[in-house]
Structure formats: C-alpha cells, structure tokens
Structure 1
Amino acid sequence: MVSPSQSDLPSYLSQPALTQYNAWGEDGQDVTQQEERRRSNEAKVLVRRTRTKEYSLITKCIAEFLGDFTFVFIGTMQAYVPNKSNDDITHAALAHGFTIFIIVASLGHISGGHFNPAITWAVTAANRMPYWHLPFYFISQLLGGFCGALMSAAILSSSQLTGTYAGATLLSPNNAWWEGLLSEALATYFLCHTVLMTAVDTDSNVLAPLAIGLTLSIDIFSTGAITGASMNPARSLGPNIVGSIFINSKDLPSNFWNHHYIYWAGPLAGGTVAALIYRLFEAREDRIVP
C-alpha cells in the first residue's frame, strides 16, 4: 500500500506531534527550553539575593547619624524663615514632613529609618530589633542631631541664631508642664504607631516614607503651638546645647532648659504605649491577644 504524502494528510496531523500536546511554545520554542530558561533566570535572581551583603551595625549607625544630621539641620534652619512669615506652623510642618519622607525613603533600607530615639525604643520594645543595638542607635541619633544644629549655627548670623533660639523646641508659656508632656506623648504615639504598622510589620513598606512624613506633619499642625511638636529627643537636645553655647544667656528665655525633660519623657512614653498596643493587639505573628 502506498502511504499518503504529507500534503494529503489532514492539517491537524501534519503539525509536529508535540504541538497537539502543547509541548511547543507560541514562538515555536520547545516548552522544555522555555522552562529551563525560566529556572535559569530564577536561579540568577536567587544568587544575586544571596550575595547581597547584610548591613553592619556600624553602617546602620552611620545612616542614623546622617538622617538625624539632615533632619535637625533643616529643622533648625527653617526656624529662621518663619520670622518673615505669619504661618510658621505650616512652614515647620511641611519642612519636617518632607524631610522625614526623603531620609526614610533614601536611608530606611539600611537602618530601618528611625532617626529618633523614641522610635528606636518603640521598635525595640515591640521585639523588632535587638536590645543591644539600642544604645548605639541612641548615640548616633543624638550626635547627628547635635552636629546638624551645630552646622546651622555655623551658617546663621549671631542675630539670626538668637532670633530663633537655635531652632530649639520650647514649651508655650500658656501651657503647663503636664500639658506639654501629654502633648508630646500623644503626638509621638501616633508617629511610632505609624512606623510600626507601615514600616515594620508589613509585607510591603513602599508607602512607609509617605505615611511617616504625613503623620509627622499632622502632629506638628496639631501640637506645634504647644511644645513645638518635637516628638524626638535628638531634635530637641542638639539645638538646646548649641543655643547654650553660642547664644548669650541673657538673650535666652528663662525656660530654655526648665521643661526640657518633657521632650524625653513624653516621646519615650508615647513610644512605649505604641509598642505595648502593638504587642497586645496588632502584631501579625506574635500578638498576645488573638
């Protein structure tokens, strides 16, 4: 019997046998080859990830220093501008909010983007950072804040520095100490809670810099007229030290140091409350209350 020619066969039989079982890709390549290529690409990605070096504690501390240097420098420098403006709270809120957005976005992947002893304490108390890192972060942040304030003092004239009290955050004479303490504690709680929920305990922290920056701005809008809305011991300590060094004591207000403790006790208390609530109710993996 004479076998039929290839042209006499039905079209579905004239195709390569593998086509009937989807063993050929749409581009005519063997699916096996495509699968091998895919696995090869995945292996290359895995190799790149495994080769990524873990940041050392020294590098993390340098990132925290640079972040606080930037934050306090801009915070103290912008304090001079409101002398020419009637809306100093808005100016301060936007300047600080934009700054924290930028430094968290640019340095957050290295150190976690705390730039604030209160946030570092909250993250540590929430069991999301080793406790022995705490003092090194604190020192880096406080030193960065001092150097940032020192740099602003080097740029501003003596009269400009005196007019802004070196950018120090001071309790309003219209408020009692406990009102300032409560104001700092609540504002810092909001800030630390945002950090924990958007940057620490999440699958994606892409929006964390924006959320943290907006929270900081809102806090300043709401409590800035009472305490200056520091929420950050590093933001308050550096300018106070620089002001005491470079400004004549006669030109400083009488309460320049009197209520400085509220800028430590308030933020640390707010960070503690945020960490406690997080550990009790909000942690996705190890919360105490189901």
Structure 2
Amino acid sequence: MGSERASPTFQSYDLTKGLKRLNNWSVDDTSTISSTTLDRSKNYSIFTRMIAEFLGDFTFVFVGTMQAVVVTTSANQSIVADNIVHAALAHGFTIFILVAALGHISGGHFNPAVTWAVAASGKMPIYDVPFYWFSQLLGGFCGSLYSVVIMTQGQLDSSHAGATLLNPDNKWWEGMMSEAVATFFLCHTILLTAADTNTNVLAPLAIGLTLSIDILSTGSITGASMNPARSLGPNIVGQIFLDSNSIPAHFWSYHYIYWAGPLLGATIAVTLYRVFEARQDRLLR
C-alpha cells in the first residue's frame, strides 16, 4: 500500500512489418513444404520399404483367405449378400489399419496396381516398381500359405483357399471391366488423398472405405480383388494344397482378368489425375 506498483509496459508491434512478411511468403514456400512431405518414404531404404510391403500383403491376403472360411456356405450357394458384407468389412478394416501403420514407410501400396499408379503419377521412381511388386507378390503368397497351417482340409477345400473367382454366370470381359472400374475407384482415391498430399489425415479411412464399397458393389462378379497379389497367392496355394476334386474347372482360366483389369483401371485413374487433378504439373490448368 505504501509502495507504488510499476505499471506494465507493452512492446509496440509494427503492423506494416508483419504485413510485409506475410506478403513475402509466396506459394512457392508451400510447394516446398508439400514436396518435402510427399518424399517422406525416401527416408527409408528400398529394403525397408520392401519389408513393409511384404508385411502388408502378408496380413492383407491372410485376412482375406481366413475370412473366406467364415463366409463359405454350401457348394451351390457360395456367394450371398451377408458373405459380401463380411468380406467388405474384413478387407476394408485391414487396409485402413495397414495404410495407417505402414504408409509412412513404403507409401502403403500393398497392391501392384497401386504401385503402378503411384509410379506413373511421378510420385515414386519407376525403377522401384519391380522391388515393390516382388515384395507384394511374395507377401501375398506367404500370407495365403500361412492360412494352410491353421485351416483344416475341409475348410481349405470349401473356401477354395480364399481364391477370387469369376462368377460362372458372367463372361470374361464383364469380369475384367468389373475389376477395372473397381480398381479405378481405389487408385483414384489413393492418388487424391494420399499420393498428392500427406496432410489429409483421413486418407487411410478413405482408402479403406473405397475398398469396402468396391467389394460391396462388384464382389458378386469377380470377388472384387483389385489386386494381383491378392489373387495370385491363393491360386498358387490352392493348386498345391486343395483336394483335386474341389478345384473348380475355371480355377486358372480367367486368372488374367485379375491382372489386366486392375492395371487397366489404375492406368485410367493416373491418366485422369495427370491431365486434370494433380496439384502440380497437371496438363490442363
């Protein structure tokens, strides 16, 4: 009470200097930040990225094979609505978790068609593609092979080892177009939400949901693989371990649609992206 309290002092701020700083911060600065974050996977060696892709496809194909055992019904009714919902949820949740967990290491492709789309879009070196494909195909085979350890012979036979097969009522070109459009939706979502920027924290969810709706819409036609690694591994394992009487007549006959369809869909997606949608270097502004 007897002493005088010192009055607070405030440092003056020159508003004009702040505006000048804001004005000098150009769009080029944001593009530098963006390009740095997009290259985050380059912090990992190609071997580490291959391990991530192997683990991702191992998990993805293992889940896809095992869930087929749960949804298998009688031999004359192998596909019903509830089974497709089960498959859609199992695959969608799995890819959501895998992209969120491993995406910062390898980009979270787990699919040769996705790797092709990302490389063709200029987001990864083209010479990395064979290494990614090898890891993905090997991971898919090992994931399917591991399921044999768990399943009984009866479960393996009834589920056809989790193989994706063309519906006997559909023609080959219908199956290929089905795989192409489903993969287009998937790759288009990946390019816009994950490859073009890493600031979208909902990218793993968007990718997982896209995979789920693809299976819901086209699962009754081809099994909605959209992924050569998802189809090749179970086919090889099925050929080795299935009882000869339980192997469908068309087990390998239309396997090519699970390569041609996804690669076609991925190519269409990346063409649309490069021409109209890329944040940088698109052909049409």
TM over 0.5, shorter chain: yes
Q: How many residues align?
A: 252
Seen in structure 2, the aligned counterparts of structure 1 residues 160 and 126 have a Cα distance that, compared at 3 Å, is same
> In the aligned structure 2, how far is the partner of 1:90 from the partner of 1:98?
12
Shift of 1:74: 0.3
Of residues 128, 136, 142 in structure 2, which corresponds to 1:141?
136
Seen in structure 2, the aligned counterparts of structure 1 residues 250 and 279 have a Cα distance that, compared at 3 Å, is same
* 2:185 match: 190
> In the aligned structure 2, how far is the partner of 1:141 from the partner of 1:62?
9
Residues 1:75 and 2:64 are matched in the alignment: yes
> In the aligned structure 2, how far is the partner of 1:207 from the partner of 1:78?
26
> In the aligned structure 1, how far is the partner of 2:117 from the partner of 2:72?
35
Cα deviation code 1:47-75 (max 9, x no counterpart): xx9xx991111000000000000000000
Shift of 1:251: 1.6
* 1:56 match: 45
* 2:25 match: none
* 2:30 match: none
Residues 1:269 and 2:264 are matched in the alignment: yes
| Aligned amino acid, residue 97 of structure 1 | G
3-state SS of 1:75 partner? helix
* 1:243 match: 238
Deviates more, 1:109-118 or 1:53-62: 53-62
Shift of 1:268: 0.4
* 2:97 match: 102
Of residues 150, 153, 161 in structure 2, which corresponds to 1:158?
153
TM-score, scaled to structure 2: 0.84
> In the aligned structure 1, how far is the partner of 2:225 from the partner of 2:275?
27
* RMSD between superposed Cα atoms in Å: 2.0
Shift of 1:202: 2.1
Q: Unpaired segments of 5 or more residues in structure 1? A: 24-48
Of residues 110, 113, 123 in structure 2, which corresponds to 1:115?
110
* 2:199 match: 204
| Aligned amino acid, residue 15 of structure 1 | S
TM-score, scaled to structure 1: 0.83
Shift of 1:250: 2.4
Cα deviation code 1:214-249 (max 9, x no counterpart): 000000000000000000000000000000000122
Residues 1:131 and 2:126 are matched in the alignment: yes
3-state SS of 1:149 partner? helix
> In the aligned structure 2, how far is the partner of 1:92 from the partner of 1:183?
17
Deviates more, 1:75-84 or 1:275-284: 75-84
Shift of 1:21: 3.5
| Aligned amino acid, residue 288 of structure 1 | L
Runs of 4+ residues over 2 Å off in structure 1: 20-23, 83-86
> In the aligned structure 2, how far is the partner of 1:161 from the partner of 1:90?
21
Q: Unpaired segments of 5 or more residues in structure 2? A: 14-36, 74-78
